[in-house]
C-alpha cells in the first residue's frame, strides 16, 4: 500500500529510515520544519545501544534504554512513525518500500535520510551467531542475560567438576569498549551479585576470558589507557588473551589460533561476540541502485554533505556512512542526523542548493568506556590542539554516568536508571535478573520454525508438480 498524505497543497515529504541516534535526532531536528516526516524502522523503540551490556548483566531494564519511538515523537505533529523493514529504495521514482509481515508499504519521498545502523559482523563465519550472540539489539542482550544466568543454573544441577567448569567459563570475543564492559560486568556479577546464592557451586570461581586477535585492549584509547584497563580487569580476575584469533566456534566451546599459528581449545558454553560490525544491508541496495562505493564494512562512501554522490536529496548517516575521521559512535550518528536535517531545512526555508551546503564537520567530544564499578577510562580532545586529555578511575566513571544520563531519552528513564545504578553500584544487588526459556532458546526455535516453513513450501511444490504430471499423463492419450 502507499501511505497517503491529505495536506493541501502537498508539503515536502521527508522519509527517515532507522530509529537509532541518527534517525531519531534527525526527526527531532525537523520538528518545526515545513514538511511531513515519516520515520520507518524495523523496531518500535529507540535503542540506547551503549548501555546494552548493562541490560545483559541485569543492571537496567529494557524499557529504560529503549523507549517507544512513537511515544518519544508523539508531540511532533508533522511526524508519523511506522513499523517495517525497508528492503528496497527506488531512487528514480523516489519511493522507499518497507515490509511488516505480509504487508508492503510504499513511501514516496522528496528527501531521504538513511540511518539504518549496523549489525554484528562475524567476518564471514555467520554460523558463529548461533553460539555467540552479538551486542547490537535488545534481543541479543536478553538472550545473553539468559545464557549467562542459565549457565550458573545448569552448573548448580551438575555434580561433574569438568562440566561445572565449562558452564562457568565465559568468553568475550573482542577487546573493544563493548567487550571490556561485558567482561568486567560478568566478573563483577559472578564475584559479588551471585556470591552465596547457590549451594552446589561457588560463582566466584567463574572464569571470565577476554580475547582478541589484536595485540591490545581498547586500542583506540591508546597504550596508556589500555594498560590501565588491563590492570583493572586482571584485578577483577578477568583473563586477557591477545593475538588470539577465533577459528571455530560451537555449542561447547571455541578454537583459538595464537600468534605463532598453534591452535588450542577453550571449553565454554556461554560466549559473547563483540569483535566487529557490518553496516546494514541497505548499503548494498544503494550500491545496486546508484553505483555508490562501499568500504570493507559495507558502509556508504558519501560526499562531503553526507549525500550519495549524484543524489543530493539522499543522505546516509550514522554507522552506515563512511567518512574519514568520524568513528562509529553515538556522537557521529547524532551530528550526522542533525546535519542532514539542517540541510533539508535550509533548502525549504532559504532555498539553499546542494552546491551551497557547508561540508559536514565532526566535532569529537571524546571517548569513554567503563571497566567496572567506580572505574572507567576517558579521552577528551583539548580544543585548539592535537592533544587529548586522558584520565581513568573514579572520576572518569562519574563522567561516563553523567554523559549517558544526559543522552538517555525521557526524564522517567533517567530517574529509573539512576535508581538502578544506585542499588547496583552501592550494593551487590541487581534488579533485572529475571530470565525465561524463551529468551535463551528463541534463536533455536526460530531456526526450527524457518526449517519447518521451508519444508512445508517444498512439500506443497512437490504436490503441485505431481498434480501437473498426473494431468499431463491423462491428456497425453487423447493427443
Enzyme catalytic residues: 181
For residue 267, give every residue at least 6 positions away whose Cβ sits within 8 Å of its Cβ, in sequence order, or none.
Answer: 165, 166, 169, 252, 253
- Rounded to a whole number of angstroms, the CA Rg of the chain reads 25
Task: Write the secondary structure of 240-287 as one string of H (helix), E (strand) and C (coil).
Answer: EECCCEEEEEECCEEEEECCCCCEEEEECCEEEECCCEEECCHHHHHH
* Residues 177 and 226 sit within 8 Å (Cβ to Cβ): no
* Residues 233 and 217 sit within 8 Å (Cβ to Cβ): yes
Residue 446 CA to residue 453 CA, distance in Å, equals 10
**Residue 293 is placed in which grid cell?**
562505493
Best CA proximity match to 408, nearest among 45, 42, 150, 67: 67
3-class DSSP state for residue 383?
A: coil
Residue 302 CA to residue 337 CA, distance in Å, equals 14
Beta-sheet strands, E only, within 42-149: 79-83, 85-90, 95-100, 103-108, 111-114, 118-120
Phi, psi of 315 (to 5 degrees): -100, 145
3-class DSSP state for residue 231?
A: helix
Q: Which residue has 544491508 as its cell numbers? A: 281
Long-range own/partner contacts, residues 386-395 (CB < 8 A, 24 or more apart): 390/221, 390/222, 390/224, 390/225, 392/225, 392/228, 392/229, 393/228
* Residues 170 and 56 sit within 8 Å (Cβ to Cβ): no
Amino acid at each position: 500500500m502507499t501511505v497517503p498524505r491529505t495536506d493541501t497543497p502537498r508539503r515536502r515529504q521527508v522519509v527517515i529510515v532507522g530509529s537509532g541516534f541518527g534517525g531519531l535526532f534527525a526527526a527531532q531536528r525537523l520538528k518545526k520544519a515545513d514538511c511531513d516526516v515519516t520515520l520507518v524502522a524495523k523496531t518500535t523503540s529507540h535503542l540506547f545501544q551503549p548501555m546494552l551490556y548493562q541490560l545483559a548483566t541485569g543492571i537496567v531494564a529494557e524499557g529504560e534504554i529503549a523507549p517507544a519511538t512513537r511515544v518519544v515523537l508523539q508531540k511532533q505533529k508533522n511526524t508519523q512513525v511506522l513499523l517495517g523493514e525497508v528492503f528496497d529504495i527506488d531512487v528514480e521514482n523516489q519511493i522507499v518500500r518497507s515490509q511488516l509481515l505480509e504487508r508492503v508499504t510504499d513511501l514516496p519521498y522528496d528527501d531521504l535520510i538513511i540511518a539504518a545502523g549496523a549489525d554484528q559482523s562475524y567476518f564471514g563465519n555467520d554460523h558463529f551467531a548461533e553460539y555467540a550472540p552479538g551486542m547490537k539489539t535488545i534481543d541479543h542482550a536478553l538472550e545473553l542475560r539468559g545464557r549467562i544466568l542459565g549457565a550458573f543454573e545448569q552448573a548448580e544441577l551438575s555434580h561433574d567438576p569438568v562440566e561445572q567448569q565449562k558452564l562457568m567459563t565465559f568468553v568475550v570475543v573482542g577487546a573493544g569498549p563493548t567487550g571490556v564492559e561485558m567482561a568486567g560486568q560478568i566478573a563483577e556479577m559472578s564475584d559479588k551479585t551471585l556470591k552465596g546464592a547457590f549451594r552446589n557451586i561457588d560463582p566466584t570461581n567463574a572464569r571470565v576470558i577476554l580475547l582478541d586477535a589484536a595485540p591490545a585492549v581498547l586500542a583506540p584509547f591508546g597504550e596508556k589507557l589500555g594498560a590501565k584497563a588491563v590492570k583493572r580487569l586482571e584485578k577483577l580476575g578477568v583473563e586477557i588473551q591477545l593475538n588470539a584469533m577465533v577459528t571455530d566456534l560451537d555449542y561447547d566451546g571455541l578454537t583459538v589460533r595464537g600468534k605463532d599459528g598453534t591452535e588450542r581449545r577453550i571449553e565454554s558454553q556461554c560466549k559473547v561476540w563483540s569483535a566487529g560490525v557490518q553496516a546494514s544491508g541497505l548499503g548494498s541496495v544503494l550500491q545496486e541502485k546508484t553505483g555508490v562505493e562501499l568500504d570493507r564494512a559495507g558502509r556508504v562512501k558519501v560526499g562531503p554533505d553526507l549525500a550519495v554522490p549524484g543524489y543530493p536529496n539522499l543522505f546516509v548517516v550514522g554507522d552506515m556512512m563512511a567518512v574519514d575521521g568520524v568513528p562509529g559512535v553515538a556522537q557521529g550518528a547524532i551530528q550526522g542526523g542533525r546535519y542532514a536535517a539542517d540541510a533539508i531545512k535550509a533548502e525549504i526555508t532559504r532555498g539553499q542548493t546542494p552546491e551551497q551546503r557547508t561540508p559536514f564537520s565532526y566535532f569529537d567530544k571524546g571517548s569513554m568506556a567503563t571497566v567496572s564499578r567506580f572505574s572507567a577510562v576517558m579521552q577528551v580532545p583539548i580544543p585548539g590542539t592535537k592533544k587529548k586529555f586522558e584520565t581513568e578511575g573514579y572520576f572518569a566513571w562519574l563522567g561516563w554516568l553523567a554523559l549517558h544520563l544526559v543522552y538517555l531519552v525521557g526524564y522517567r528513564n533517567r530517574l529509573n536508571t539512576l535508581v538502578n545504578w544506585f542499588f547496583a553500584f552501592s550494593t551487590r544487588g541487581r534488579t533485572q535478573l529475571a530470565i525465561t526459556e524463551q529468551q535463551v532458546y528463541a534463536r533455536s526455535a526460530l531456526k526450527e520454525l524457518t526449517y519447518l516453513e521451508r519444508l512445508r513450501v517444498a512439500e506443497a511444490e512437490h504436490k503441485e508438480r505431481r498434480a501437473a504430471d498426473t494431468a499431463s499423463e491423462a491428456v497425453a492419450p487423447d493427443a
